[in-house]
Amino acid sequence: MNGALALIKALEAVGCETVFGIPGGAILPAYDPLFDSAKIRHVLTRHEQGAGHAASGYAQATGRVGVCMATSGPGATNLVTPLADAYLDSLPVVAITGQVARPVIGTDAFQEADIRSITLPITKHSYQVTDPDDIPHVIAEAFTLAASGRPGPVLVDLPKDVLAAPAAWTEPEPPVVVRPRLDPAGVRQAADLLARAERPVFYVGGGVVRAGAAALLLELAERTGVPVVTTLMARGAFPDSHPQHLGMPGMHGTVAAVAAMQKADLLVALGARFDDRVTGSLARFAPEALVVHADIDPAEISKNRRADVPLVGDCRDVLRALNASVTTGGDLGAWWAYLDGLRTTFPLGYDWPEDGSLAPQYVISRIGELVGPEAIYTSGVGQHQMWAAQFVRYERPGSFINSGGLGTMGFAVPAAMGAVCGAPDRQVWAIDGDGCFQMTNQELATCALEGLPIKVAVINNGNLGMVRQWQNLFYGSRYSQTSLGSTPDFALLAEAMGCVGLRCSSRPGVDDVVREAMAVRDRPVVIDFVVGADAQVWPMVAAGTGNDEIMTARGLRPLCDSDTGEDL
Amino acid sequence: MHRLSLLLRNKPGALARVVVLFSTRDVAVESLSLNPADADGLSRLDVQVRLREGRSVDQLVHQLRRVVDLCEVSAA
C-alpha cells in the first residue's frame, strides 16, 4: 500500500462519501486509487473555489464534514476563499491539498505554495504529513477536529512523494467527541434571570443549527413565551410561521426584531457572536439588557459585548438544561403588546418599481411560496441575499445556506451543487445575483455533467446592487463601477453549459417560470429574472450607527423618539 | 503590557500559529523567547504583549486555547 491508497482508505473509513476537487501534478497519486473507490464519489469541479464552497454547502445540508481536494500551488490557493468562508461561518470542512515532494519543499519548486502558512489565520488546524504511515490517523484527526467543538476548516497538505511512498495501514480510531461540561450555577442564574425578565429575547445564531438544537429551542420558547429573533446564519432554526418569531435582527432585520433587542432587559444569546451586522454601534446596542451568552467557544463570550452570565457549552446541552430549569416566565403581556404593535405597523414590505419593472422581492417571495419549506435555498451575497433572508419563509434548520461572516460573492451556485449532492431528495434553489453569478457560474457545467439538477434564480438587475444601494444612500448617487451592463445572456449561457435557460421579466410570468423550472428533473435550470435596478433593501441600519436609528425607508426612523425626518 | 507563558507541542506550525494569532488579533509583541521545556516534545514560549485599548487578556487567552498544539497558557 502507498500513501495515496492509505489516504483513500482512510477517507472511506471515516465515512467520507463525496469529494469535490480537481486533480493536478502534486495530488495526482491520490487520484489513482480514488479512481477505484466504490465508496467515494468525486465531483470534478471547474474551479477549486467551486470545490471548496461545494464542500461547505454539503456540510450544511448534511451536518457532516464536507471534503474538497486540490493540487499544490494555484490549486491550493484557490481554496483560500472557501476556507476563510468556512472559518467565519464555523463549517466542518476538510481540505486535502497536494504539495511538492519533500526534497524540494522550500526551493520555490514548480507549483509550490506554502499553503499551510497562507491559511494559518483561516483554518482551525492544519497538517503537513511527512511520514506516509501517519496518513490514516491524520485524516481521522482532521475529521474529528473539523466537526467537534466549534466546527471549522482543517487543512491536510500531502507532499507528492509521501503519497507515492509505501505506507503502513492502521485502522483510524473512531472520533471521540468531547462536549464541554456546562456550569450548573450559570444555568441556574440564566433560568433565574429568565423568570424575572420583563423584556426578554432569545437571540438565536448559527450555533443552534450546528448543534442540531432547533427542537429544544422550540420547546424553550413555548415554555417561556419569550420572543425569538434568528440571525442570518440561523434562519430556519425557529419556524418563521411561529407567532413568537420576530424575524431577523441586524442591519437589514425587521423593525420588531431590531427593536426587541434594542429595548430588551434580557438578551439570551444562543450560538450567536454579537457580530457588527447584528449589533450596529456596540456602544449604543441594547443599553438596558443583561446578557446571557451561551456558546461552545469560550473565546466568543464577552468578545464584543460583556456577558453577565457566560455559558460555555453546546447549544443542545444549554437548551436541555434551560428546559429542565426554567419554570414559567414572568408576565410578558406589555412586552408582547409593544412588539406586536411594531409588527403590525412595520411589517416587511416593498414597493413596486415606478418604471413598471419586476420587483425582485416579489420574485423571491413567489419562489419561496411555490417551492416551499422542504427545499434548500442558497444565496450569494448582496441585495438578493438579504431579500432571500427576508422574503422566503423558512421552517427548517439548515434550509438557508449562505455566506454570513465572510460575505463571499459567488457562493450560491457551488454551495447549491454541494447541497444537492448531500441531500439529493430535496429541491435546491440558488437565489443569486447577476454579479455573484458571474463569479462562479462555471460550476453549472459540473452540475449538468454530474446530473445535479439545481435551480438558479438570477435576480438580474444589471448591477452590483448592494454597492449601488450604498452609493445611492451614502455617495450622492454616484454610481462608480457598479453597472454590469446587459451581457452575457444568462439563458443562453445556461444552455451552452447543458442547462435549461429561462427568462422572465414581468409579474404575470413569474409563477409559470418557477413551475416550469420545478418540472425539470434531469438538468440544472437557470432563470434569468430581469428586475428593476432601483429596488433597495429595507429596513436598514446604516453601518456604524445605532440600531435605534433603523430606517424603514430613506430618512424614516421609527424607533427614534425625536425623528426629525431629515435625510441621511 | 502582559506576560504570557505558553507550553507548546513541538509540532511544525505550532509557533507560527501562535504568532499569526497575535498578528490577526492586532496584538503587539514586545518580546518573545522560545526554549525547550522540561517535558519531552514540548517548548515553553514566553511572550510580552501589548493589547489594543479595550481588549482583555482573558479574551486573548481563550483565543490562544483554540490552538490545537497549545497545552497550557497563563497570563500575568
Q: Would the CB atoms of A128 and B13 count as touching at under 8 Å?
A: yes
Q: What is the pLDDT of residues A144-165, one digit of tens each?
A: 999 999 999 999 999 999 999 9
Q: Give the separation between CA A342 and CA A358, rounded to whole angstroms.
A: 28
Whether A566 has a pLDDT exceeding 80, the answer reads: no
Task: Evaluate whether A195 touches A64 at the Cβ level (below 8 Å).
Answer: no
Interface test with chain A among B23, B63, B69, B73, by most A beta carbons within 10 Å: B63
Closest partner CB to B13 (pick from A116, A121, A124): A116
| Strands B2-9, B70-75: pairing kind | antiparallel
Residue position matching grid coordinates 473555489: A49
Per-residue pLDDT, averaged over A448-466, amounts to: 98
Q: Give the separation between CA A420 and CA A252, rounded to whole angstroms.
A: 28
Examine residue A539 and say whether the peptide bond preceding it is cis (omega within 30 degrees of 0). yes
| Grid coordinates belonging to A170 | 492502521
Q: What structural domains does chain A harbor?
A: 3-164 (3.40.50.970), 184-345 (3.40.50.1220), 360-530 (3.40.50.970)
**pLDDT confidence of residue B56:** 94
Q: Give the separation between CA A524 and CA A501, rounded to whole angstroms.
A: 9
**What is the residue type of A303?**
K
Q: Would the CB atoms of B66 and A145 count as touching at under 8 Å?
A: no
Per-residue pLDDT, averaged over A507-535, amounts to: 97
- Catalytic site residue from A248, A261, A409, A466: A466
Q: Would the CB atoms of B13 and A126 count as touching at under 8 Å?
A: yes
* A449 in B contact zone (CB under 8 Å): no
Q: What is the CATH number of the domain that holds B29?
A: 3.30.70.260
Task: Evaluate whether B6 touches B18 at the Cβ level (below 8 Å).
Answer: yes
- Catalytic site residue from A48, A112, A450, A549: A48
Q: Would the CB atoms of B20 and A128 count as touching at under 8 Å?
A: no
Whether A564 has a pLDDT exceeding 60, the answer reads: no
Instruction: Please tell me which residue of chain A has the smallest CA distance to B55.
Output: A303
Q: Would the CB atoms of A299 and B68 count as touching at under 8 Å?
A: no
Whether A281 has a pLDDT exceeding 80, the answer reads: yes
* A565 in B contact zone (CB under 8 Å): no
Whether A178 has a pLDDT exceeding 90, the answer reads: no
Domain of residue B8: give its range.
2-75
Closest CA to B2 of B32, B24, B23: B32
Q: How far is B15 from chain A (nearest CA, A)?
A: 11
**What is the residue type of A285?**
F
Work out the widest C-alpha separation in chain B, in whole angstroms.
38
**pLDDT confidence of residue A561:** 63
- Catalytic site residue from A9, A20, A143, A160: A160
Whether A565 has a pLDDT exceeding 90, the answer reads: no
Q: How far is B62 from chain A (nearest CA, A)?
A: 5
* A223 in B contact zone (CB under 8 Å): no
Half-sphere exposure (CA, 13 Å, Cβ side) for A487? Answer: 0
Per-residue pLDDT, averaged over A286-291, amounts to: 97
Q: What is the pLDDT of residues A248-275, one digit of tens each?
A: 999 999 999 999 999 999 999 999 999 9
Q: Give the separation between CA A240 and CA A461, rounded to whole angstroms.
A: 28
Instruction: Kindly compute the dihedral angle of the four CA atoms of residues A551, A554, A556, A562, in this order, to the nearest 10 degrees.
Output: 90
Q: Would the CB atoms of B59 and A303 count as touching at under 8 Å?
A: yes
Torsion angles phi and psi, residue A290, rounded to 5: -80, 150
Task: Evaluate whether A388 touches A364 at the Cβ level (below 8 Å).
Answer: yes
Task: Count residue pairs from A and B with Cβ separation < 8 A.
Answer: 32
Whether B16 has a pLDDT exceeding 80, the answer reads: yes
Q: Give the separation between CA A434 and CA A445, rounded to whole angstroms.
A: 17
**pLDDT confidence of residue A174:** 78
**pLDDT confidence of residue A327:** 77
- Catalytic site residue from A1, A39, A110, A369: A110
* B25 in A contact zone (CB under 8 Å): no
Task: Evaluate whether A258 touches A279 at the Cβ level (below 8 Å).
Answer: no
Q: Give the separation between CA A380 and CA A435, rounded to whole angstroms.
A: 9
Q: What is the pLDDT of residues A465-501, one digit of tens each?
A: 999 999 999 999 999 999 999 889 999 999 999 999 9
**pLDDT confidence of residue A568:** 36
Q: How far is B3 from chain A (nearest CA, A)?
A: 19
DSSP one-letter string for A239-279: -TTSTTB----STT--HHHHHHHHH-SEEEEES----HHHH
Closest CA to A204 of A108, A269, A129: A269
Q: Give the separation between CA A381 and CA A536, rounded to whole angstroms.
A: 14
Examine residue A488 and say whether the peptide bond preceding it is cis (omega within 30 degrees of 0). yes
Say how many domains are in chain B: 1
Per-residue pLDDT, averaged over A361-371, amounts to: 98
DSSP one-letter string for A3-62: HHHHHHHHHHHTT--EEEE---TTTHHHHHHHTT-SS-EEEE-SSHHHHHHHHHHHHHHH
Whether A456 has a pLDDT exceeding 80, the answer reads: yes
Residues 144-203 of A with CB under 8 A from B: 145
Whether A198 has a pLDDT exceeding 70, the answer reads: yes
Q: Which residues of A touch B12 (CB under 8 A)?
A: 128
Surface-to-core class of residue A279, CB atoms within 10 Å of its CB (0-12 exposed, 13-18 middle, 19+ buried): buried
Q: What is the pLDDT of residues A289-335, one digit of tens each?
A: 999 999 999 999 999 999 999 999 999 999 999 999 997 767 999 99
* B55 in A contact zone (CB under 8 Å): no
When mean pLDDT is compared across A119-128, A170-179, A357-366, the lowest value belongs to: A170-179
Q: How far is B27 from chain A (nearest CA, A)?
A: 14
**pLDDT confidence of residue A8:** 98
Whether B17 has a pLDDT exceeding 50, the answer reads: yes
Surface-to-core class of residue A121, CB atoms within 10 Å of its CB (0-12 exposed, 13-18 middle, 19+ buried): middle
DSSP-assigned letter for residue A463: B
Three-point CA angle A127, A128, A131, nearest 5° = 115
According to DSSP H, which parts of A475-509 are helical? Answer: 490-496
* A284 in B contact zone (CB under 8 Å): no
- Each residue of A175-186: b (16+ CB within 10 Å) or e? beeeeeebeeeb
Surface-to-core class of residue A560, CB atoms within 10 Å of its CB (0-12 exposed, 13-18 middle, 19+ buried): middle
Q: Identify whether A455 is a catalytic site residue.
A: no
User: What is residue A99's three-state secondary structure?
Assistant: strand
- Catalytic site residue from A12, A111, A303, A536: A111
**pLDDT confidence of residue A15:** 95
Per-residue pLDDT, averaged over A228-244, amounts to: 98
**pLDDT confidence of residue A144:** 96
* A282 in B contact zone (CB under 8 Å): no
Q: Give the separation between CA A432 and CA A459, rounded to whole angstroms.
A: 6
ipTM for the assembly: 0.97
Q: Identify whether A303 is a catalytic site residue.
A: no
| Grid coordinates belonging to A444 | 453549472
Q: How far is A336 from chain B (nearest CA, A)?
A: 36
Q: Side by side, which strands form the sheet with A500-504?
A: A400-401, A376-379, A428-433, A455-460, A525-530, A500-504
Residue position matching grid coordinates 464541554: A180
Number of Cβ within 10 Å of residue A103's Cβ equals: 10
Q: Would the CB atoms of A120 and B20 count as touching at under 8 Å?
A: yes
Whether B65 has a pLDDT exceeding 80, the answer reads: yes
Q: How far is A298 from chain B (nearest CA, A)?
A: 6
* A102 in B contact zone (CB under 8 Å): no
Percent above pLDDT 70 for chain B: 100
Number of Cβ within 10 Å of residue A284's Cβ equals: 14
Q: Give the separation between CA A364 and CA A380, rounded to whole angstroms.
A: 13
**pLDDT confidence of residue A82:** 98
Half-sphere exposure (CA, 13 Å, Cβ side) for A372? Answer: 5
| Grid coordinates belonging to A424 | 439529493
Q: Which residues of B touch A301 (CB under 8 A)?
A: 62
Q: Identify whether A111 is a catalytic site residue.
A: yes
Q: Identify whether A1 is a catalytic site residue.
A: no
Surface-to-core class of residue A438, CB atoms within 10 Å of its CB (0-12 exposed, 13-18 middle, 19+ buried): middle
Q: What is the pLDDT of residues B27-44, one digit of tens each?
A: 999 999 999 998 889 999
- Residues making up chain B, counted from first to last: 76
Q: What is the pLDDT of residues A395-423, one digit of tens each?
A: 999 999 999 999 999 999 999 999 999 99
* pLDDT confidence tier of residue B22, bands split at 50, 70 and 90: very high
* B50 in A contact zone (CB under 8 Å): no
Whether A241 has a pLDDT exceeding 80, the answer reads: yes
Q: Identify whether A466 is a catalytic site residue.
A: yes
Interface test with chain B among A105, A119, A124, A125, by most B beta carbons within 10 Å: A125
Instruction: Calculate the average pLDDT of chain A.
Output: 96
User: What is residue B40's three-state secondary structure?
Assistant: coil
User: What is residue A513's three-state secondary structure?
Assistant: helix
